[in-house]
Amino acid sequence: MKTAQAGTLESMDCLVTASAAERGKGIFITMEGANIARFRDSILKTAKATLQELGIKDVVLSIQFNGANDVVLKARVEAAARTLMGGEE
């Protein structure tokens, strides 16, 4: 399966792995990390909004969270998703 990653497991960061999903399957997001329950809703909101901005409707995201703020999370989701879509490098 085609995947792409962005980010690290360092503090204040997150590691986002984006995997291709079949057309029509929608967006599926899993996440793990310390205190993840506290941040789950906010992470989901940011990740979904970022994918929406990019026009991505079908993707699987795995987010390993280590204290990233919204700015970092958005950047990591975007970079992983863009790389997956093959637009870069």
| 71 belongs to the binding site for another protein (CB under 8 A) | yes
Residue choice 7, 39, 51, 61 for contact with another protein (CB under 8 A): 7
Minimum distance between the CB of residue 72 and another protein, rounded to whole angstroms?
Answer: 4
Minimum distance between the CB of residue 68 and another protein, rounded to whole angstroms?
Answer: 7
The rounded distance, in Å, linking the Cα atoms of 70 and 20 is: 23
- β-partners of residue 6 are 16
Q: Segment 39-68, which members bind another protein (CB under 8 A)? A: 68
C-alpha count within 13 angstroms, C-beta hemisphere, residue 31: 24
Total residues binding another protein (CB under 8 A) = 21
Closer to another protein by CB, 22 or 89: give it.
Answer: 89
**H helix or E strand, kind and range, residue 64:** strand 59-66
Tokens of 29: 């997001």
